[in-house]
Amino acid sequence: MSIRHGLLALLERGPRHGYQLRAEFDAATGATWPLNVGQVYSTLDRLERDGLVAQDGDPDPDGRIAYRLTDTGHAEVRGWFASPVSPKGAPRDELAIKLALAVTTPGVDVLSVVQTQRTGTMTALQELTRLKTRAAGDDLAWSLVLDSLVFRAEAEIRWLDHCEARVARAAAARPQNAVVPVSTTGPAVRR
Amino acid sequence: MSAPVLVLSGVTREHRQGDTVVHALRGVDLAVHPGELVAVMGPSGSGKSTLLHVAGGLDTPTAGRVLVEDRDLAELSAAQVAAVRRRSIGYVFQDLNLLPSLTALENVSLPLELDGTRGGLARRAARDALDEVGVGHLAGRFPDDMSGGQQQRVAIARALVGPRRLLLADEPTGALDSTTGEEVLRVLRARCEAGAAGVLVTHEARHAAWADRVVFLRDGVVVDQSGPAAGAESLLTAGGGA
């Protein structure tokens, strides 16, 4: 998640100081990605250095400095909303890497790696569903964030199903080398 | 915790296909308590539907025991099993099987009347069941005059009507769009929270997530199950956005 763009987008609402930005970020995302104030101020420093924000007037009586967007900052926000999030920018997918290593590491039961993950992701999905039922119906921002996590968890489970089928098929094709303790060649179960 | 409504103990179900024996279920143990909704997931052919049929007395295990409200189905006569099915178990299937020539109210009251409940009482219970799933105002409508979601709610009301405490649902959201499907799950969930025990068979992770527990079946064997985690909040802070 780009904190930089998150803060810039919040500053489109008007000048804000760091504590306000943190509170509004948490409110918009339901505290899904909590920020600490240190992160907020260090990001603001870099944005100021890059000419995307500028200090807005003098510090308030508590010594807090408000920031506003510069013209370059406005353009950056517009550009961010206008472009898709690049998958290349996503953090490394630990699970994909883990499975890739699992299928190439001798002695690893890939199907049990898959099932362990499926159970873990399913538990997460259950918790998200519980949060969703509790979420107030009128909090659209929060409920969209939850939906995003729900769909992502669901996609991960589908991908795991796909991996399992691929691994089972590969094992069936090479019965001598099968590292997978599952019978895929038996007769289909009648339903 | 109170006594389970449904217990499967070492349940095996074999089918013969010519010379081969196909194991639909192999030594499955499962207990479902009042207030609990359990989802069963697995690829096609994993034994999900067989499990539901065995639990509901529609199929008989080759080995193992099935107890519904403490009664061992194997020790009952066919007529007694039929009575358990009518009085204790509610089924919701993907094809709704509503009778097109009966109104919503009549569809729901029919099972009670067949079981000997007098007409007035049966209709009152049916009305309550329709209200419970939010379609009381459609009592006089015929199935063809209702949307898919409304028909599914009527089918659930029919499954819930009377004192039934075991609810068995096989892909109940199959034919519905995602929002309507979610409403149906909400109703199932609410009924379980009110004291019923539910088993939901589905291949959709998003739907299974409405359950308290998810049991994974593979080749007729329970390979794993997921329960509630430590706390929802931990999920969000522990890198949920990564």
Query: What is the interface pTM, i.e. ipTM, of the complex?
Result: 0.76
pLDDT of B241 strictly over 50: no
- Residue B57 has what DSSP assignment? T
Q: Among residues 31-60 of chain A, which lie with CB inside 8 Å of chain B?
A: 31-34
Question: Residue A31: which of B220, B223, B236 has the nearest Cβ?
Answer: B236
Residues A46-78 pLDDT 10s: 999 999 999 998 888 988 999 999 999 999 988
Better-predicted residue by pLDDT, A29 or A45: A45
Better-predicted residue by pLDDT, B18 or A87: B18
**pLDDT for the residue numbered B23:** 87
Beta-sheet pairing, B6-17 with B37-41: unpaired
How many other C-beta atoms can be found within 10 angstroms of the C-beta atom of residue B97?
Answer: 12
Give the rounded percent of residues in chain B with a pLDDT score beyond 90: 52
Better-predicted residue by pLDDT, A138 or B111: B111
pLDDT of A166 strictly over 80: yes
Q: Which of A184, A179, A126 is nearest to A150 (CA)?
A: A126
- Residue B35 has what DSSP assignment? T
Q: Averaged over A170-190, what is the pLDDT?
A: 54
> CA B78, CA B74: separation in Å to the nearest integer?
9
> CA B201, CA B67: separation in Å to the nearest integer?
19
Contact A122 B214 (CB under 8 A): yes
DSSP 3-state of A131: helix
How many other C-beta atoms can be found within 10 angstroms of the C-beta atom of residue B38?
Answer: 22
User: What Cα–Cα distance (Å) separates residue A2 from each residue in A55, A76, A77?
Assistant: 21, 13, 12
Domains contained in chain B, CATH given: 6-230 (3.40.50.300)
pLDDT of A14 strictly over 60: yes
Please state which CATH number belongs to domain A3-88: 1.10.10.10
Question: Residue B240: which of A32, A154, A191 has the nearest Cβ?
Answer: A32
pLDDT-based confidence at A40, cuts 50/70/90?
Answer: very high
B interface with A, Cβ–Cβ < 8 A, is: 15, 17, 20, 22-24, 41, 43-47, 49-50, 186, 189, 204-206, 208-212, 214, 216, 218-220, 223-229, 231-232, 235-237, 240-242
Residues B197-224 pLDDT 10s: 999 999 889 899 999 999 999 999 998 8
Looking at beta carbons, which residues of chain B come within 8 Å of A33?
240-241
* Structure token digits, residue A56: 């807005």
* Structure token digits, residue A142: 């929060």
> CA B234, CA B242: separation in Å to the nearest integer?
14
> CA B182, CA B189: separation in Å to the nearest integer?
10
pLDDT of A179 strictly over 50: no
Better-predicted residue by pLDDT, B228 or B242: B228
Using CA atoms of B4, B212, B216, B59 in order, give the dihedral in degrees to the nearest 10. 40
